[in-house]
Each structure stands twice: as structure tokens, then as C-alpha cells.
């Protein structure tokens, strides 16, 4: 993975991010995911980007106060003005030392916005590794289905 195409964002979950049971609100994590997707898209496009769509958002595990949450946002497909960003979230219980566990995942469609407030083209993306090629083809198929 080209380092320019990935951003890792970590944060310890605090009591003000949780409900009365101590579970972190889903919206708190979704905001973190959106920030990570936006950051990697802006770095890739070298221009402001907005979120156009979120697909396949899945909550695999609950997250609790005190957990270290790490969002990894990776560019996996690039269209003309839009980018598909896969965001994986891991949560780690720092006390138990049980290691990070996959907690959430989603695909964000980010659109590059020109200074005129309209979508602007972004640099082409060529997947290199087998994993990158697999993800690229998966997203390409999904977009083709969506646009038909």
C-alpha cells in the first residue's frame, strides 16, 4: 500500500462518547471514520473533498469507554472525481492486552470539490498489490451495478 493512499487515526474513547451502559455511541465512531476517509481523500486529491455516500457500514463488535480505537482509511478505487475509501476500525482494550479487534468497517465515497464548488477530477489510481487489485475490482463491479 502506497503510504499516500492510507491514513491511520487513533483515539481513546472517553465517557462523554458513551451511553449509560458504557458503550460508545455508533455516531461517535462514524464521525471518526468520516474524518479519516476525508483526510485520506483530501491528501490524495490535494483538494477539499466531501462525503457523498456510505456503503456497507457494519458494527462487528461493541466498543467501550477506555478502548483505543484505530481507524485505517485506504483509497481502494478512484473514478473521475470520486474516490472509494475503505475504512476499517479496530478497538483495543488497553487493560486486558487482548490485542486490537475488528469493530466496524464501511466504504465511503468521497468527491473532490474544485474551488468553483463543483466536482473536480482527481489523479488516476493504479492498484499494485494483489489485495489492492482485488478490492479495486470488487468496488468497480459494485459501482457498475449501481450505475445500471
Q: Which residues bind to ligand ACO, rule: CB under 6 A?
A: 34, 38, 50-53, 79-82, 109, 111, 119
Rounded least distance, CB 103 to ligand ACO, Å: 21
Rounded least distance, CB 28 to ligand ACO, Å: 15
Q: DSSP letters of 110-147?
A: EEEB-TTSSB---------SHHHHHHHHHHHHHHHHHH
| Minimum CB distance to ligand ACO smaller for 53 or for 133 | 53
Query: Which residues are CB-contacts of 25 (< 8 A; sequence separation ≥ 6)?
Result: 17, 18, 19
Q: Which of 139, 6, 4 is nearest to 71 (CA)?
A: 6
Rounded least distance, CB 118 to ligand ACO, Å: 7
- Nearest-angstrom CA–CA distance, 125 and 129: 13
| Minimum CB distance to ligand ACO smaller for 15 or for 117 | 117
| Minimum CB distance to ligand ACO smaller for 72 or for 81 | 81
Amino acid at each position: 500500500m502506497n503510504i499516500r493512499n492510507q491514513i491511520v487515526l487513533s483515539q481513546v474513547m472517553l465517557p462523554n462518547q458513551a451511553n449509560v451502559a458504557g458503550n460508545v455511541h455508533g455516531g461517535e465512531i462514524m464521525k471518526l471514520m468520516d474524518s479519516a476517509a476525508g483526510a485520506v481523500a483530501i491528501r490524495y486529491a490535494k483538494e477539499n473533498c466531501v462525503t457523498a455516500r456510505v456503503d456497507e457500514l457494519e458494527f462487528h463488535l461493541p466498543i467501550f469507554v477506555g478502548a483505543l480505537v484505530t481507524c485505517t482509511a485506504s483509497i481502494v478505487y478512484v473514478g473521475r472525481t470520486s474516490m472509494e475509501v475503505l475504512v476499517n476500525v479496530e478497538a483495543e482494550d488497553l487493560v486486558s492486552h487482548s490485542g486490537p479487534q475488528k469493530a466496524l468497517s464501511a466504504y465511503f465515497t468521497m468527491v473532490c470539490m474544485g474551488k468553483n464548488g463543483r466536482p473536480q477530477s482527481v489523479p488516476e489510481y493504479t492498484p499494485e498489490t494483489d489485495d489492492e487489485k482485488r478490492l479495486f475490482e470488487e468496488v468497480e463491479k459494485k459501482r457498475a451495478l449501481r450505475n445500471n
